[in-house]
């Protein structure tokens, strides 16, 4: 029983770390494209010409 709870904890921790990593990668892509997290108050990364 204790081993199962520990396994579930590590599965949830891995999932959460994956979400954080995807968020970091998304923000990094926006910065590489010349924008920011919300350039120009847009919901997503958008570059105006």
Average of per-residue pLDDT across 13-29: 81
Cα(26)–Cα(8) distance, integer angstroms? 27
pLDDT recorded at residue 45? 59
Q: Does the structure show a pLDDT above 60 at 16?
A: yes
Cα(38)–Cα(27) distance, integer angstroms? 9
Cα(43)–Cα(40) distance, integer angstroms? 9
Contacts of 31 (CB under 8 A, 6+ apart): none
Q: What is the pLDDT of residues 28-38, one digit of tens each?
A: 555 555 555 55
Q: Does the structure show a pLDDT above 80 at 27?
A: no
Contact present, 39 and 46 (Cβ < 8 Å)? yes
């Amino acid at each position: 029983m204790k081993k199962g709870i520990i396994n579930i904890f590590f599965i949830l921790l891995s999932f959460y770390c994956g979400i954080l990593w995807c968020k970091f990668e998304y923000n990094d892509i926006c910065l590489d494209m010349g924008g920011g997290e919300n350039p120009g108050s847009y919901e997503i990364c958008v570059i105006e010409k």
